[in-house]
Amino acid sequence: MFFDPLEGLARQDLENLQGVRLRHVVSQSANSPLYARIFEEHGLQADQVQGLDDLPRLPFTGKEDLRASYPGGMLCRPMEEMVRLHASSGTTGAATVVFHTANDIQTWADLVARCFHMVGVRPHDVFQNMSGYGLFTGGLGIHYGAERLGCLTIPAGAGNSKRQIKLLRDFRVTVIHIIPSYALHLATVFDSLGVNLEDLHLKTALIGAEPHSEQIRKRIEELYGVKAYNSYGLSEMNGPGVAFECPEQNGMHIWEDAFLAEIIDPVTLEPVPEGEVGELVLTTLTREGMPILRYRTRDLTRFIPGECPCGRTHRRIDRILGRSDDMIIIKGVNIFPMQVERVLMAIPEVGQNYLIVLERQGYLDQFKVQVEVKSEFFVEDMRVLKKLQDRITGMLRDELLITPKVELVEARSLPCSDGKAQRVCDLRGQ
């Protein structure tokens, strides 16, 4: 049933293991220049952390700490022992670098293989990785996990849609890893080429790398005729393989033998009650070369209360709502792009892409949403389009509590990227 017996470890035994690993990782991290300085500034000795109850003694680590310690100030082992480095995509600032030992790479591959196995992928499957390779963790991280499981692995990389389709057909691919926005775009390429998605042999899609709504997942499942599983990872914590959905598709199991998770109020920095949304904080428990303590991910989620019917004891986190630093404030109202997506993707006439445009008129901020409309609904009768525009505006107003300006555009007319989708265009500073 399980790829690793640790998946079903009794809760108390799992927490005992976490306590042992936390004690070890704190001791190791004290060898890094960054944490040696931080411990000294806080008057903290590594041996004061003996178990989970001592976790609040540790200060938080932020992205600014990783940047300040560039290039090697967080290493707790000699650079000569490192075998790989990865860097974040730098979508919200300068890139940050993370190093790995050979054991770190093996542990990471095991965690990703565990994710694959959990959703039914087996060695006989053919896997196509449509994620970018290089410094981005989604390529090699997923690749090593697939090979660890024993799948025939096709490192297709990002983009080049016609080649992606040829590989899918020629090698009878059964499992793909794909960014949600690119999955929707690729489906339009199938349509333009006159290729029937039903002719493929796909059964499973692993989707992640950008926040997406349940409505997006359902669209992907309907378009491709597959089960699509949500995943979560970030470069600072390896990349993919931090948390993954099981077949229940009700939250992502976070692998608590490798990552110690907390959810805090991003303002007070105190833990939030079980089941409430807050900022996810993670501590590496198994990484040798560059452990990170209490890392503020800025990602907003919640722990899902209760046990999972799948039998795994590792807690589940909900899909990522957004980032605490991605919140848009318009006319005093807090808005997350994911709220817009949930509304739009539930409307049958809406196409695969949208763009939020923030503008300033005089002293007032304006919130505009450009929405692609499927070709069969983008008709010349302006009355029909006006009715659709009004309906979308009303549904967004009910969700957001402000009235956006909705602009309907033709299908495939908005910019599309092979990488993470850019959903917000902020023109207020121009």
Q: Where are the beta strands (DSSP E) in 194-257?
A: 204-207, 227-234, 239-245, 252-254
Peptide bond into 123 cis (omega under 30): no
pLDDT confidence tier of residue 10, bands split at 50, 70 and 90: very high
Annotation: CATH topology of 1-323: Rossmann fold (3.40.50)
Higher-scoring residue by pLDDT: 427, 259: 259
Q: Identify the weakest region by mean pLDDT among 78-82, 200-204, 362-366.
A: 362-366
Q: Convert the pLDDT of each residue in 244-254 to its tens digit.
A: 999 999 999 99
Q: What are phi and psi of 177, to 5 degrees?
A: -115, 125
Residue 137 to residues 3, 112, 260, 307, 314, Cα–Cα distance (Å): 22, 12, 20, 31, 23
Nearest to 101 by CA among 292, 289, 291: 289
Whether pLDDT at 429 is above 70: no
Smallest CA-to-CA distance from 84 within 288, 292, 295 is with 288
pLDDT per residue as tens digits for the range 200-214: 999 999 998 777 888
Mean pLDDT of 138-157: 96
Antiparallel, parallel or unpaired: β 364-373 and 405-410: parallel
Predicted confidence at residue 415, as pLDDT, reads 81
Residue 421 has pLDDT above 80, yes or no: no
SS3 341: helix
**In the CATH scheme, what is the homologous superfamily, with its name and number, of domain 328-426?**
ANL, C-terminal domain (3.30.300.30)
List the structure tokens of 80.
């000569």
Nearest by Cα to 36 from 317, 258, 372, 293: 293
Q: What are the extents of the domains in the chain?
A: 1-323, 328-426
C-alpha dist (Å) from residue 78 to 23, 72, 75, 100 = 21, 9, 7, 11
Q: What is the pLDDT of residue 181?
A: 82
**In this structure, how many other beta carbons lie within 10 angstroms of the beta carbon of residue 380?**
6
**Residue 313 in this model has a pLDDT that exceeds 90:** yes
